[in-house]
Amino acid sequence: MMQLNINGKSHQVDVEPDMPLLWVLRDVLGMTGTKYGCGIARCGACTVHVNGQPVRSCSLEVGAVAGTRIVTIEGLSRNGSHPVQKAWVDFQVPQCGYCQSGQIMAAAALLKRKPHPSDADIDAAITNICRCGTYQRMRAAIHAAAGMTKQA
């Protein structure tokens, strides 16, 4: 048995320590907001926060994160009120939406680290892939969320 702290709650899971965190989240705990994309940590659809840092959960062994604080898209805010989530809606960022939970998690981590990022900061930090190509709207939404994070 392994103890995981996910979205502020303790979870006991009986899995092999080399199982990817993504599969524990989705298949064992039923948290399906984090998506599978490529399985090799390139696309970013599976991005979650571990101790506040964005990580690709598809290639991260669950044994490596026991005892850490894990936050998924479900834990970013209970009602979609996080500034990045609000900006995503305001700027109509998603098209197909599949990659968006990972994009939002990457953007939230960027703003936590750098509250007022430049375009170059955004480009360097948001390496997630969006097949629909909504990068310009993402950038605008991140800048808007940066303005909102003063109150968050």
Q: Do 109 and 52 touch, CB atoms closer than 8 A?
A: yes
98 and 117, same domain (yes or no): yes
Please classify residue 151 by burial: count the beta carbons closer than 10 Å to its beta carbon, then call 0-12 exposed, 13-18 middle and 19+ buried: exposed
Q: What is the pLDDT of residue 151?
A: 40
Is residue 127 domain-shared with residue 70, that is, in the same domain?
no
CATH number, position 20? 3.10.20.30
Same domain, 43 and 61: yes
Distance CA 44, CA 40 (A): 9
Can you give the pLDDT at residue 109?
A: 98
Low-confidence ranges of the chain (pLDDT < 50): 150-152
pLDDT of residue 97: 87
Q: What CATH number has the domain bearing residue 112?
A: 1.10.150.120
Residues 49 and 65 in one domain: yes
Domain assignment of residue 96, given as a range: 83-148
Judge if 25 and 67 occupy the same domain.
Answer: yes
Residues 65 and 90 in one domain: no
Determine contact, residues 31/38, Cβ cutoff 8 Å: no
Judge if 16 and 58 occupy the same domain.
yes
Tell me what pLDDT residue 112 has: 97
Domain boundary among 76, 95, 117: 76
Given 54, 76, 98, the domain boundary residue is 76
Q: What is the pLDDT of residue 148?
A: 77
E-assigned strands of 47-110? Answer: 47-50, 53-56, 69-71
The contacts of residue 65 (CB under 8 Å, 6+ apart) are 4, 21, 50
* Confidence at residue 107, expressed as pLDDT on a 0 to 100 scale: 98
My answer on whether 88 and 62 are in the same domain is no
Q: How far is it between the farthest Cα atoms of the chain?
A: 44
pLDDT at 149: 57
Residue 2: closest CA among 68, 50, 54, 48? 68
Out of 27, 58, 76, a domain closes at: 76
| 123-141 tens-digit pLDDT | 999 999 998 999 999 999 9
Task: Mention every residue, 6+ apart, whose C-beta is less than 8 A from residue 17.
Answer: 2, 61, 62, 63, 64, 66
Amino acid letter, residue 64 = A
Q: How many independent structural domains does the chain possess?
A: 2
Spatial separation of the C-alpha atoms in residues 81 and 77, rounded to whole Å: 6
Q: Which helix (H) or strand (E) holds 75?
A: helix 73-76
* pLDDT attached to residue 137: 95
